[in-house]
Amino acid sequence: MSATPPKYPADRPACVVTGPTSGIGRATALELARHGTVVLVGRNRSKLAEVQTAIERQGRHAVSVVCDLSDIASVRRAAAEIIALRLPIAGLVNNAGIMQVHPTKNALGWDMTFATNHLGPFALTEALAPHLADGANVVFVASAVEDPERRPAKAVGFRGGRYISAEACARGEWKPGGSRMPGADAYATSKQCTLATAMAFARDTPRLRFNAVEPGVNPTTGLARDANAFVRLLSRSIIPLLVPLLMPFMTFLSTPKRAARVVAKILLDESGRTGIYYDEGGRPMPGSTLVRDPAFQDRVVAETRALLSSVPRPAGRSPSS
C-alpha cells in the first residue's frame, strides 16, 4: 500500500503518526482521526492496512506510508512520499520505539534501538519540517528513564542515559557504570537524545512548536518484542488486568488510551507553547540535569546531523526533496 495523491479533505488538518499499529501509537492514531486525516507511518504493510481500515470504517480518513525508522534510506523515501501527498500537515507524532533485550544492528551496523528511537525520528522530522505549516506541532514521545535520578526508573533497574557521542551510540557503546538490565542503556540513551532534540529544535525553529511527553509506564505496549515467551505472555494477559487496579497507587502507570489522550491534547494545542516536556498527566515536568543543558542539546543535534550526513543519498536527491 503506498500513498497516492488522494481524495482526502484538504480543508482539515493532517497529522503524521509513527508506530501506529499497536500500543500508544495505534490509540493516538484513532484519537487524532477524529480531527482530520492521519498519515500512518510504520514498517508492517498489513498492520498499517488494518489500522487504516479501522479508521475508515468510522467514516474518517487515513493513508499509510511504509517506513522502517531504523533505515535512513527508508525514512527519506517515506518523507518524500508524505510530502507528495500535499496534505496540510499540522502535526507530527514521533511515537515509534523499541527496547531490544538482545541488541541487533541495521544494515549500516547501527544499534537498532538507537536508530529506531532517535536517528530515524530525527531524520524524518528534519525532512518534514520545511513542509509543515507555520505553528504546526511536533511531539516526541520521550521517557523519564533517561533521568538517572528518576526513582521509579531506578527501582526497576534503569541508570539513565549513557551518551558518549551519536557515532559511539550508533555503534552500541554507552558510558560505563550503567544498568545491568539488558537493553536499558540503549533505550534510556535514545530517549535522552529524543528529549534533547525536542528542546533544541524548539529553540532553533520558532515558527514550529516542538514538545516532548513522558507517556507514563505502559507495561502492555510491547516495547521489548524480543523478550522471552513468559514476559510476552505476562504483557498480553496478566499485566493488563493489574494496571487499572494499581494506577490509583502508582500514578506513573498509564495505559495506551490514556497516553494517547495526553499526546493528542498536546499535539492539538493551539496556545503556541513550545520547548515543554510533559508528564503522563499532561503537566510540565523537568528532564534530567544533563538534558536541560542547552549545550548538551546542541551537541546531540550537531552530532546526529553529522552522523546522518554520512549516509549516502540517491543520485539526484537534494536534502529537502
Say which DSSP state 69 is in.
T
Q: Inform me whether the pLDDT recorded for 228 exceeds 80.
A: no
Q: 156 pLDDT band (50/70/90 cuts)?
A: confident
CB burial of residue 238 (10 Å; 0-12, 13-18, 19+): exposed
**Mean pLDDT, all residues of the chain:** 88
CB of 191 within 8 A of CB of 142? yes
Q: Compute the 3-state secondary structure of the chain and give helix, strand, coil in percent, each to the nearest 5.
A: 40, 10, 45
pLDDT one-digit tens code per residue, 272-293: 999 999 999 999 999 999 999 9
Q: Inform me whether the pLDDT recorded for 113 exceeds 60.
A: yes
Cell of 208: 514550529
pLDDT of residue 315: 67
- SS3 label, residue 249: coil
Which of 30, 33, 29, 64 lies closest to 47, judged by CA? 64
CATH 3.40.50.2000 is right for the domain spanning 14-143+191-308: no
pLDDT of residue 235: 43
Domain extents for the chain? 14-143+191-308
10-24, 57-71, 185-199 — which is least confidently predicted? 10-24
Which of 19, 17, 25, 6 lies closest to 215, judged by CA? 25
pLDDT one-digit tens code per residue, 177-220: 999 999 999 999 999 999 999 999 999 999 999 999 999 865 55
pLDDT of residue 238: 36
CB of 113 within 8 A of CB of 101? no
